[in-house]
A and B are shown apart, each in its own frame.
Chain A
Amino acid sequence: MNRLRLALPAGLVGLVLLAAWLLPSLLPWDYRVIDWDHVSAPAATPGHVLGTDSVGRDLLSRTLVGTRITMMVAIAAAFVSLIIGVLWGAIAGWCGGKVDALMMRIVDALYALPFMFVVILLMVVFGRSILLVFIGIGAVEWLTMARVVRGQMLALRHRPFILAAEAAGAKAGFIVFRHALPNMAAVILAYLLLTVPQVVMVESFLSFLGLGVQEPMTSLGILVKEGADDMDVYPIALLVPGGVLVTLVVCLTVLGERLRDRWAA
């Protein structure tokens, strides 16, 4: 039972990812190619298992490729939050005092910025590009990680084994990277898993607004937007990408929470 609590969400996420990376090349129709004979075809049309969209592109193919893009943005953002967030939080927590106060006020200030507004502004200045989406999301997602790591560091700093390391002559960098961070790896990993679904949501939202990924490339957010346009006549185009999105977000959140609970205890 306890094993299933982790295995079930992990398995579902793994299955979706596997399908997104392997399946598109096996399908007869590429996600960009228009099948002029079948426009807005229903599910189970020959060659199109889930039918096609309003311009005749294979829905299954597009959903899988969209999942790929969405997950790539998510993983990239998680990576940024891992690097910047962990370093920022570790330095602030270790140094304490004025350094800590200054670094955490910067985090507070960034938290207070209206994130959507900043991304839209960047798009206006630099033009639309997927790179900006990566940067914009990554720049915001590390804030929570920095707070989590700082809190952990404050708690660990006064543990006897950290003092023992100082007595052994270890330099601050060594203590942080070899003693402190490995002892909070579990918490960091668990919060990292919680970052991924958040980013999936943000990317989908940006794309839904038309600010994210550009046609013919697609993402789960774009697919949901397109599906939503014709949902009264053709609900499957909304339900399939929407279902994948919900499954990913729920599974990753549950996985992250359960890992956090297990390791934090």
Chain B
Amino acid sequence: MTSVFRYHGLRVEIAGRAVVQSLDLAIAPGECVALVGESGSGKSQSWMAPFGLSPGIASGEAWLCGEALVGRDEADRSRLRARHVGFVFQQPLTSLSPHLTIAAHLEEAFTQAGGARPDRATLAAALSEVGIDQPQDRLRQFPHRLSGGQRQRVMIAMAIAHQPALLIADEPTTALDATLRREVMAMLTNLCRKRGMAMLLISHDLASVADAADRLIIMRQGEMVEQGPTRDVIAHPGSAYGRDLLAAAPRLDGPAPHRPAIGALLLEARDIAVSFPHPGWRRGRLQAVDQATLTVHEGEALAIVGGSGSGKSTLARAIARLGPCDAGEVSWRGLPLPPRDRIRPAERAGFQPVFQDPVASLDPRWRVADIIAEPARHLGSGVSQQHILAAMAECDLEPMLADRRPHELSGGQAQRVAIARALITDPAMLILDEATSALDVLVAGRVLDLLARLQRERQLALLMITHDLAVARRLCHRILVMDHGRIIEQGDTESLIRSPQTDITRQLVAASH
């Protein structure tokens, strides 16, 4: 069978530096090939540069539907892109134009390669093909009315509207929560099989593409380190790097990790309620958290798990006195914790948060050493340079990073800085708000290892907010599942995963397998 898309010895250079070297690839109609690697491995450059979508300069051979891509001018490449290729990107929230209806978006997609103007029935059919219910109503709506998963489905419908021969999906499910990831990925694979469309899937997460891809290519620092049929690569990875990637993702099966012993009661939150005014003109308030009660003991790790919008972050912030809290009481070591505007430094020093986006949660203009020292400066009596370096060493940060600024750090380094900062006041508990979900699998794995070590060495309690049960299982003694602002299920980690009681938990378990 002839290939739709083929590379032979592809090389991409940016500013004289090779970011992709001698990459070979061939995708047949109906086949799905996944390019896997951590950030900076060149996996995105390897498709952007040949299509003229990045400043990278491609050399070698790249063929799309029998036509060469390398060495063509922009007009030719643009025509080839529009005719034969559909693109799906990571950010479903920002990839749709807020002032256009879903119908307008789709119409544009249908006509971009010179196709005829579609009627309403065609548009509705395109939406139901990607699994959107009530397509007729959706067509009239604007993007903000759709959830993240629905927007990504609309993006996919747009990408395939002109019947492309090749679909390129760059981290198509990374921004979605665990339950949605599986559904969207399964939908993509089905579409390819049904339409005989070739698919190039780019991801940092080996586990997420394992079901979808027929063949895998693992890249590292611009070079292909391993390739072959997915089943073979996953069963017997030929390279050390491939084995690392496979081992990095936390899993629901396998032996339960060792968890440290639990001490006395540390934190107790009773009947926490938080509500927000409805956005726009609607009256009334949206109950984000309702009647939530939980306890955390010394050295204990508790996970709050739920889909996006379940209220898990709002609950954690209400407890940490970093967000609104309408009702309920929180006590810390048996004493009531004052509300957000009256909390005292000594109380704040006991629990410190780590946020999801590591780079955004560090002040871009501050030096790493000052960032790490800040909590001690406000909550204690300041720290010495040695103390800062010791905290950095504890989080596996090189001393030379002390003078850097956040934008000069990688995602993993930035999250370690955030953890070192949280530890500087020697707290009894860390509040981790999706602390690993913005990171690559390998990097996230190392951050989880670091947290497990800290938990063991410092008898640190953890309150962990995550959408991923497998991540929760890696560290947590107990799990609490939230949906629509309520705690719907809780229990010991292993028994909750083994025998989930509610549909939501069952979905979360299925999504993490």
Segment from A64-72, A126-134, A157-165 that makes contact with B: A157-165
B355:A165 contact, CB within 8 angstroms? no
B363:A167 contact, CB within 8 angstroms? no
- Write out the residue numbers on chain B whose beta carbons fall within 8 Å of the beta carbon of A168: 348, 352, 374-375, 377-379, 421
A212 to B320: give the CA distance in the assembly, Å: 58
- Interface 0/1 of B329-373, CB less than 8 Å to A: 000000000000000010011001101110011111100000000
- Write out the residue numbers on chain B whose beta carbons fall within 8 Å of the beta carbon of A161: 360-364
B379:A164 contact, CB within 8 angstroms? no
A165 to B322: give the CA distance in the assembly, Å: 10
Contact of A167 among B348, B364, B377 (CB under 8 A): B348
With CB as the reference atom, state the residue of chain A lying closest to B349. A169
A143 to B379: give the CA distance in the assembly, Å: 37
With CB as the reference atom, state the residue of chain B lying closest to A170. B378
A261 to B374: give the CA distance in the assembly, Å: 32
Is A25 close to B, CB under 8 A?
no
Contact of B361 among A160, A174, A183 (CB under 8 A): A160
Contact of A164 among B345, B348, B353, B365 (CB under 8 A): B353
Is A182 close to B, CB under 8 A?
yes
B364:A183 contact, CB within 8 angstroms? yes
Is A171 close to B, CB under 8 A?
yes
- Write out the residue numbers on chain B whose beta carbons fall within 8 Å of the beta carbon of A159: 360
- Write out the residue numbers on chain B whose beta carbons fall within 8 Å of the beta carbon of A169: 345, 348-349, 375, 378-379
With CB as the reference atom, state the residue of chain A lying closest to B354. A164
Q: Nearest-CB distance from A148 to chain B (Å)? A: 19
A183:B365 contact, CB within 8 angstroms? yes
With CB as the reference atom, state the residue of chain A lying closest to B361. A160
**Docked complex: A175-211 residues within 8 A CB-CB of B:** 179, 182-183
Is A166 close to B, CB under 8 A?
yes
Count of B interface residues, CB-CB < 8 Å: 23
- Write out the residue numbers on chain B whose beta carbons fall within 8 Å of the beta carbon of A160: 355-357, 360-361
A167 to B374: give the CA distance in the assembly, Å: 10
- Write out the residue numbers on chain A whose beta carbons fall within 8 Å of the beta carbon of B360: 159-161
Given A161-B362, A183-B364, are A166 and B374 also a contact pair (CB < 8 Å)?
Answer: no
B348:A183 contact, CB within 8 angstroms? no
A163 to B349: give the CA distance in the assembly, Å: 15
Given A183-B363, A183-B365, are A167 and B357 also a contact pair (CB < 8 Å)?
Answer: no
Given A170-B374, A170-B378, A174-B378, are A165 and B363 also a contact pair (CB < 8 Å)?
Answer: yes
Q: Nearest-CB distance from A175 to chain B (Å)? A: 10
B378:A182 contact, CB within 8 angstroms? no
With CB as the reference atom, state the residue of chain B lying closest to A185. B365
- Write out the residue numbers on chain A whose beta carbons fall within 8 Å of the beta carbon of B375: 167-169
A159 to B363: give the CA distance in the assembly, Å: 9
B348:A163 contact, CB within 8 angstroms? no
**Docked complex: A203-239 residues within 8 A CB-CB of B:** none
Q: Nearest-CB distance from B10 to chain A (Å)? A: 32
A174 to B360: give the CA distance in the assembly, Å: 19
State which size class the interface on A falls in.
10 to 19
A170 to B418: give the CA distance in the assembly, Å: 16
- Write out the residue numbers on chain B whose beta carbons fall within 8 Å of the beta carbon of A164: 353, 355, 361-363, 418, 421
- Interface 0/1 of A136-168, CB less than 8 Å to B: 000000000000000000000001110111111
A84 to B434: give the CA distance in the assembly, Å: 40
A136 to B375: give the CA distance in the assembly, Å: 44
Q: Nearest-CB distance from B416 to chain A (Å)? A: 15
Q: Nearest-CB distance from B269 to chain A (Å)? A: 17
Q: Nearest-CB distance from B488 to chain A (Å)? A: 27
A168 to B361: give the CA distance in the assembly, Å: 12
- Write out the residue numbers on chain A whose beta carbons fall within 8 Å of the beta carbon of B377: 168
Q: Nearest-CB distance from B397 to chain A (Å)? A: 17
B379:A182 contact, CB within 8 angstroms? no
- Write out the residue numbers on chain A whose beta carbons fall within 8 Å of the beta carbon of B421: 164, 168
**Docked complex: B365-414 residues within 8 A CB-CB of A:** 365, 374-375, 377-379
- Write out the residue numbers on chain A whose beta carbons fall within 8 Å of the beta carbon of B349: 169
With CB as the reference atom, state the residue of chain B lying closest to A183. B365
Q: Nearest-CB distance from A127 to chain B (Å)? A: 47
Contact of B322 among A166, A170, A179 (CB under 8 A): A166
Given A160-B355, A160-B357, are A165 and B374 also a contact pair (CB < 8 Å)?
Answer: yes
Q: Nearest-CB distance from B93 to chain A (Å)? A: 16
A74 to B1: give the CA distance in the assembly, Å: 75
B322:A167 contact, CB within 8 angstroms? yes
Q: Nearest-CB distance from B426 to chain A (Å)? A: 14
- Write out the residue numbers on chain B whose beta carbons fall within 8 Å of the beta carbon of A163: 322, 355, 361
A167:B362 contact, CB within 8 angstroms? no
A171 to B379: give the CA distance in the assembly, Å: 10
Q: Nearest-CB distance from A158 to chain B (Å)? A: 11
With CB as the reference atom, state the residue of chain B lying closest to A160. B361
A171 to B363: give the CA distance in the assembly, Å: 15
A227 to B40: give the CA distance in the assembly, Å: 65
- Interface 0/1 of B215-237, CB less than 8 Å to A: 00000000000000000000000
A194 to B129: give the CA distance in the assembly, Å: 53
A174 to B366: give the CA distance in the assembly, Å: 14
A168 to B363: give the CA distance in the assembly, Å: 12
- Write out the residue numbers on chain B whose beta carbons fall within 8 Å of the beta carbon of A171: 378
With CB as the reference atom, state the residue of chain B lying closest to A179. B363
- Write out the residue numbers on chain A whose beta carbons fall within 8 Å of the beta carbon of B320: 167
With CB as the reference atom, state the residue of chain B lying closest to A159. B360
A164 to B361: give the CA distance in the assembly, Å: 6
A166 to B353: give the CA distance in the assembly, Å: 10
Most buried by A among B320, B352, B374, B379: B374
17 pairs of residues in contact across A and B, judged by CB atoms under 8 Å: A159-B360, A160-B361, A161-B360, A163-B355, A164-B362, A164-B363, A164-B421, A166-B322, A167-B320, A167-B348, A167-B353, A167-B375, A168-B375, A168-B377, A168-B379, A169-B375, A170-B378
Which residues of A are at the interface with B, using a C-beta cutoff of 8 A? 159-161, 163-171, 174, 179, 182-183
Q: 3 smallest A-B Cβ distances: which pairs?
A: A169-B378, A160-B361, A168-B375
Besides the contacts A167-B348, A168-B374, what 8 more A-B pairs have beta carbons closer than 8 Å? Answer: A160-B355, A160-B356, A160-B361, A164-B355, A164-B361, A165-B363, A170-B378, A174-B378
